[in-house]
C-alpha cells in the first residue's frame, strides 16, 4: 500500500505556470446566468465513479432487482440524468476524460502501460488542478490499476491512495478483485480522512473497480444467485469476441474466447448456457448492490459529519458492460458492440445541497456527456470554464431543462503493442448520438499491418489498404436494444451523422495541433 501526499517536484514545476493561469481565470464574481439556488461557492465536491456499473441494472433507474436502495434515496433529492453518455468503453480513457473534459483521442491516455500506453501530459489541466488552485484539499481513492498514479491522472491529487502492485502487472482478474479498486478497501480510508479534515474544503474522487469481473467475490455478492445453478467458476472472467455474428439475440450457447487476458487462458470450446448467463448476471447484480452498500456508508458519514448540506455529490460510471447481449460477454478494445447502449449510456446523479428535498427527483432526459461533469462543477462553484474543456456546463439543463447538446460522441483508439487473444486487432471505434439516432463506425487493422494511432485517426474516413470498416445505424426510440441496423434503409440519416462525426474528428485534431 502506498499513499502519496505530495505531487512530485517535476510535476509541480510543470504545473505551476498553468495553475497561476487557472487561478486568474477562476477567481471572480458569480456567473450572471447562474441562479442563486445553484450557485454554491465553497461547497465541497465528491465524485463517485462506479466503473462498469450499468445504468439499466440500477433500481434507481427502474431495474427489477433492488440493487441500489441507497442511491435511490439519494436520487429522490437529486438531478437524475437518463441520457448521459461516456466517451469511452473502458475505464482508463473514460476516467481521464471525466477529469480533463477531453475526448480520449485528445488526452491520449488510451492504452495500458504494458500495451504501449503512456501518461497524461503535464500540459493538460485536470479538475483536480483547478480545485487545488481554489484552495481545496484534493483526494483520490482509486486502488490503482487503471487509475494508478503512473498514468498521470490520480497523481494530480494531493492525496492519492493506490496499491503499488496494481499497475498493470497483475493480469489475473482473480487476484485483482481482492484489492484493486475495491470500495471495501477505500471507503473507510476516505471516511477517516473526512473525519480528520471535516473543516477543510475538499474535492474527493472515489473510483470503484468492484463491478468488473469476476463477480463471485466476496460470496455476499451471491444474494441474487440463490437457487441458480451453473458449472462456471464465479472467480473467473468470461470473455467473448463474436466477430462472426453482428446482430440478433444471443444464441442458446455463447462461445467463450477466454477466461482471462492472455492467450494461455484460451478456451475455444467452452460455452455459456442460458442458465450460466442468468447466474453470471445475478452475481453481477450482487456486486452492484455491494457497491451501493459502501456508498450508503459514505453518505451516512457525510450526514453524521454535517457535510451533506455543503457537499455536491456526483454519482456516475465510466462505462457499462455486455452481459450476453448479441451473444457477447464483456467489451473494450476491438470487440464489436463495445459502444452499444448498455456500455455507453451511463448513470448520472447530481445531488446539490441547495435543492429543497421536497422538490423530489428532478429527471433530465436530454443528451449529456461524461465530459460535462468537470465544467459543471466549475460553474456551480462560481468559476469560469477553461478553454481546454470540451464538455459543457449542465447548468441550463439543471435550472430549466434546457438541452445543452444536439449530439454527444464516443471515440476510442486501440493500438496495443502486444496484440494478444483479448486485444485482437488494433482498431478505432467512434459513435455519435443525436436525437433518437445512433451511428457507429469502426476501423479494424489486421495484425500484419503496422499503422500508428495518429495516422489512422487522421484517415478515419479515408480508404486505407488492408483496413476494414464497419458502420451501423440504429433508431434508439424504436430499437433500444440495437438489433435492427438501418444503415441501408436510412441512408440520408446515416450520411448526415457520418458528416457530423467527421466534423467532430476535425475539431479533435484542431484541439491537438
CATH classification at residue 392: 3.40.720.10
- Judge whether 235 lies within some domain: no
Whichever domain contains 432, its CATH number is 3.30.1120
- Judge whether 338 lies within some domain: yes
Q: What is the rounded CA–CA span in Å between residue 95 and residue 301?
A: 25
Q: What is the rounded CA–CA span in Å between residue 202 and residue 313?
A: 12
Q: What is the rounded CA–CA span in Å between residue 332 and residue 322?
A: 10
CB 376 within 8 A of CB 31: no
- Judge whether 184 lies within some domain: yes
pLDDT of the residue at 189: 92
DSSP letters spanning 158-193:
SEEEE-GGGTTT---HHHHTTTTT-HHHHHHHHHHH
Q: Considering 378, 405, 432, which residue would you say is the last residue of a domain?
A: 405
Domain count, the chain: 2
Q: What is the rounded CA–CA span in Å between residue 410 and residue 342?
A: 14
pLDDT of the residue at 5: 34
Instruction: For residue 385, give every residue at least 6 positions away whose Cβ sits within 8 Å of its Cβ, in sequence order, or none.
Output: 375, 378, 379, 393
pLDDT of the residue at 271: 74
Do residues 354 and 372 share a domain?
Answer: yes
Do residues 292 and 438 share a domain?
Answer: no
Do residues 212 and 343 share a domain?
Answer: yes
Q: What is the rounded CA–CA span in Å between residue 290 and residue 335?
A: 28
Q: Considering 347, 382, 405, which residue would you say is the last residue of a domain?
A: 405
Task: Let me know the angle formed at the C-alpha of 129 by 127 and 130, rounded to the nearest 5 degrees.
Answer: 65
Do residues 59 and 165 share a domain?
Answer: yes
- Judge whether 259 lies within some domain: no
DSSP code, position 214: P
**pLDDT tens, the chain, 513 aa long:** 333 333 343 343 344 434 434 443 343 333 444 455 788 999 999 999 999 999 999 999 999 999 999 999 999 999 999 999 999 998 889 999 999 999 998 998 887 776 677 888 889 999 999 999 999 999 999 866 777 777 878 888 998 876 554 444 434 444 444 456 788 888 999 999 999 999 999 999 999 888 888 887 666 678 898 889 888 888 777 777 554 343 333 444 565 555 554 444 445 546 788 898 899 999 999 999 999 999 999 999 999 999 999 999 999 999 999 998 888 888 766 677 889 999 999 999 999 998 866 667 788 889 999 999 999 999 999 999 999 999 999 999 998 889 999 999 999 887 655 545 455 567 888 999 999 999 999 987 776 665 555 566 666 888 777 788 999 999 999 999 999 999 999 999 999 999 999 999 988 876 666
- Judge whether 226 lies within some domain: no
Do residues 380 and 483 share a domain?
Answer: no
Domain span at residue 497 reads 410-512
Do residues 328 and 470 share a domain?
Answer: no
Do residues 381 and 506 share a domain?
Answer: no
- Judge whether 258 lies within some domain: no
Positive/negative CA dihedral, 272, 275, 279, 281? positive
Do residues 371 and 434 share a domain?
Answer: no
- Judge whether 144 lies within some domain: yes
Do residues 390 and 455 share a domain?
Answer: no
pLDDT of the residue at 14: 44
Q: Considering 351, 371, 405, which residue would you say is the last residue of a domain?
A: 405
Q: What is the rounded CA–CA span in Å between residue 413 and residue 115?
A: 13
- Judge whether 387 lies within some domain: yes
Closest alpha carbon to 174 in 275, 287, 261, 240:
261
Grid coordinates belonging to 205:
474522487
Do residues 57 and 205 share a domain?
Answer: yes
pLDDT of the residue at 453: 56
Closest alpha carbon to 142 in 131, 130, 157:
157
Do residues 114 and 75 share a domain?
Answer: yes
Helix axes 183-196, 274-304, angle to 10 degrees: 10
pLDDT of the residue at 461: 83
Do residues 35 and 113 share a domain?
Answer: yes
Amino acid at each position: 500500500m502506498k499513499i502519496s501526499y505530495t505531487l512530485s517536484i517535476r510535476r509541480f514545476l510543470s504545473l505551476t505556470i498553468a495553475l497561476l493561469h487557472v487561478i486568474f481565470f477562476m477567481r471572480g464574481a458569480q456567473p450572471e446566468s447562474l441562479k442563486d439556488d445553484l450557485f454554491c461557492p465553497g461547497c465541497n465536491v465528491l465524485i463517485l465513479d462506479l466503473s462498469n456499473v450499468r445504468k439499466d441494472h440500477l433500481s434507481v433507474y427502474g431495474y427489477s432487482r433492488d440493487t441500489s436502495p441507497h442511491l435511490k434515496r439519494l436520487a429522490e433529492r437529486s438531478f437524475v440524468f437518463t441520457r448521459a453518455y461516456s466517451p469511452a468503453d473502458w475505464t482508463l480513457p473514460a476516467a481521464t476524460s471525466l477529469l480533463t473534459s477531453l475526448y480520449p483521442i485528445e488526452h491520449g491516455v488510451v492504452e495500458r502501460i504494458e500495451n504501449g500506453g503512456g501518461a497524461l501530459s503535464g500540459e493538460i489541466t485536470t479538475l483536480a488542478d483547478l480545485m487545488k488552485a481554489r484552495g481545496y484539499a484534493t483526494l483520490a481513492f482509486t486502488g490503482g490499476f487503471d487509475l494508478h498514479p503512473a498514468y498521470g491522472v490520480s497523481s494530480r491529487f494531493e492525496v492519492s491512495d493506490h496499491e503499488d502492485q496494481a499497475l498493470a502487472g497483475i493480469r489475473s482478474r482473480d487476484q485483482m478483485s481482492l484489492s484493486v479498486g475495491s470500495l471495501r478497501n477505500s471507503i473507510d480510508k476516505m471516511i477517516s480522512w473526512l473525519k480528520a479534515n471535516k473543516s477543510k474544503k475538499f474535492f474527493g474522487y472515489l473510483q470503484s473497480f468492484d463491478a468488473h469481473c469476476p463477480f463471485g467475490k466476496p460470496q455476499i455478492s451471491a444474494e441474487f444467485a440463490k437457487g441458480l445453478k451453473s458449472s462456471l467458476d464465479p472467480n473467473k472472467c468470461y470473455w467473448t469476441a463474436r466477430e462472426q455474428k453482428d446482430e440478433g439475440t444471443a444464441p442458446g450457447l455463447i462461445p467463450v474466447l477466454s477466461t482471462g487476458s492472455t492467450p494461455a487462458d484460451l478456451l475455444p470450446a467452452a460455452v455459456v448456457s442460458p442458465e450460466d448467463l442468468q447466474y453470471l448476471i445475478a452475481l453481477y447484480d450482487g456486486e452492484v448492490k455491494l457497491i451501493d452498500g459502501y456508498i450508503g456508508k459514505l453518505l451516512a458519514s457525510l450526514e453524521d459529519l454535517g457535510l451533506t448540506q455543503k457537499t455536491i455529490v456526483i454519482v456516475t460510471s465510466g462505462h457499462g458492460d455486455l452481459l450476453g447481449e448479441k451473444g457477447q460477454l464483456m467489451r473494450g478494445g476491438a470487440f464489436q458492440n463495445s459502444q452499444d447502449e448498455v456500455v455507453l449510456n451511463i448513470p448520472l446523479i447530481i445531488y446539490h445541497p441547495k435543492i429543497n428535498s421536497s422538490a423530489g427527483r428532478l429527471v433530465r432526459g436530454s443528451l449529456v456527456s461524461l465530459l460535462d461533469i468537470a465544467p459543471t462543477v466549475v460553474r456551480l462553484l462560481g468559476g469560469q470554464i477553461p478553454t481546454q474543456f470540451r464538455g459543457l456546463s449542465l447548468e441550463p439543463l439543471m435550472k430549466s431543462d434546457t438541452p445543452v447538446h444536439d449530439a454527444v460522441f464516443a471515440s476510442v483508439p486501440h493500438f496495443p503493442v502486444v496484440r494478444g487473444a483479448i486485444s485482437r486487432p488494433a482498431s478505432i471505434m467512434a459513435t455519435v448520438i443525436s436525437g433518437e439516432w445512433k451511428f457507429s463506425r469502426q476501423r479494424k487493422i489486421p495484425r500484419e499491418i503496422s499503422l500508428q494511432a495518429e495516422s489512422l485517426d487522421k484517415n478515419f474516413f479515408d480508404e486505407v489498404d488492408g483496413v476494414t470498416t464497419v458502420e451501423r445505424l440504429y433508431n434508439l426510440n424504436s430499437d433500444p436494444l440495437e438489433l435492427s441496423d438501418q444503415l441501408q434503409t436510412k441512408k440520408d440519416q446515416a450520411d448526415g451523422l457520418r458528416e457530423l462525426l467527421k466534423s467532430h474528428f476535425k475539431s479533435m485534431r484542431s484541439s491537438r495541433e
